[in-house]
Amino acid sequence: MKPVAGIALGGRYRLESRIAIGGMGEVWVGHDESLARDVAVKVLREEFAGDAGFLERFRTEARNSAGLSHPNIAQLYDYGEQEGSGFLVMELVLGEPMSDLLDREPVLPTRRLLPILAQTARALHAAHAGGVVHRDVKPGNILLARSGRVKITDFGISTATNQVPMTASGMVMGTAQYLSPEQAIGKAATPASDIYSLGIVAYEGLVGNRPFTGPTAVDIAVAHVNTAVPPLPDQIDPELAALVMRMLAKEPEERPRSAASLARTLDELLDGTPPGGIPVTATRHTRAVDVLHDDITTSSQRAVPVPGSEATPGAAPAEPPPPTIAPTDPPGDPARATGTAPGPSPSAEPPAPGRTSGRRRAVTAPGPTRTSTTTGLRWGQISRPLLALILMVLFALLGAAFADTLWGPSRSAPPPVGSDPVSIAMVTSPGAERTSGMIGPRPGSDQALHTTTARDQ
């Protein structure tokens, strides 16, 4: 039977379009007319129709696949035979084979490659636990779904532990480029053979080419047996490189003991890999250093309010914006540079005692305008000087009756209230006592600014 579009297999699976051609069969997109869903249909190639050996391999693939159920294995729905040919009905995976990805990107980023390898290893473990060895692990049989899930497929040459051998003694089954050394010399494939083949896939994804090449399949198979694996580039993480080299050990017992343990190791390497980078062994907990004050800040700290904005104690934005640093020097002080690029100030005063390094220092506004509820002079700061002024005036009036000299030019009248206004921007944290924002007096001013506390409100 020749597979063509429009033909219905088994009376319900209508072929729509061919998507791939393999060694034994063709893969088509089909439609299950009974369940109204799209499926993948693998049909024995026309030249093999009627061949009892190939038909039996199709039946074997169906039996081996039917006994496996795992999220990373393409599910088998049905098997049938028609006009001397066999067909498999499987889950249709929307995506592409890994081989297509490698054609576009010969070298994959570590964070892209490791999940593919780990999921494939888990699928192989499920197959091995079910007594099935895949025997043909390669990028073309690793499907990458659009969801990010990996599915292995094509158990066409797989073998089960209780399966009667279907190959003559010494006959090699598999793809030469991904063939394990023991398979190359005609020995039976084992779970360790699948791990070796996955190691070739890993090497190819890291380097951009396979470790062994040659003019013929025989030359490549011999290289798997006799030639040492070329070392991986130095930029590959040593732990990952060592793992891949273990997977490619010539002796099966020197490889990872199971696909399950391999998957766990790959997951651990993925956890230590930053986005866009290679696995790291250093601690992943880093701290951000404020370049202006060398204070240690974390993402949980709130932004410093800038003079001119309203800051309500206890209120925090839904998403903390990046910290904004206001000038730390009073305007008009020639000894300190303002308006320059941020940098450590040698004359900056240290934080007040008791303050944590994560909080900001009090800052001053660039002008005398009041900018928030914590700026400007308060009545508690000017009531005593005013009282002293009144008393001085009274004493002066009384003393005028006794000595006119007290009103000479040597005495100047005290400055009026608010003659030299100073704007202060306090930095407070919700729940903290507002006592940590003291600013020194302005040069040339006789006013002393005191710490603003809750009692002054």
Instruction: Give the CA angle between residues 361, 374, 340 to the nearest 5°.
Output: 45
Q: What is the largest CA-CA distance in the chain?
A: 139
How many helices (H) and strands (E) the chain has is answered by: 9, 13
- The identity of residue 438, as a single letter, is M
Cα separation, 452 vs 457, in Å, equals 8
**Contact between residue 41 and residue 76 where contact means Cβ atoms under 8 Å apart:** no
Contacts within 8 Å (CB) and 24+ apart, 398-405: none
Q: Is 136 one of the catalytic residues?
A: yes
Phi, psi for residue 27 in degrees, rounded to 5: -110, 130
Catalytic residue among 32, 38, 78, 136: 136
Instruction: Look at residues 73, 184, 202 and name the one whose alpha carbon lies nearest to residue 128.
Output: 73
The residue written with tokens 């793809």 in the block is 175
Strand partners, 81: 86
- The identity of residue 272, as a single letter, is G
Instruction: Give the CA angle between residues 226, 230, 234 to the nearest 5°.
Output: 160
**Contact between residue 308 and residue 371 where contact means Cβ atoms under 8 Å apart:** yes
Q: By three-state DSSP, how is residue 303 classified?
A: coil
Calculate the alpha carbon distances from 231 to 27, 117, 251 in Å: 37, 19, 18
Pinpoint the alpha helices (H) of 333-414. 379-400
**Contact between residue 217 and residue 192 where contact means Cβ atoms under 8 Å apart:** no
Catalytic residue positions, numbered: 136
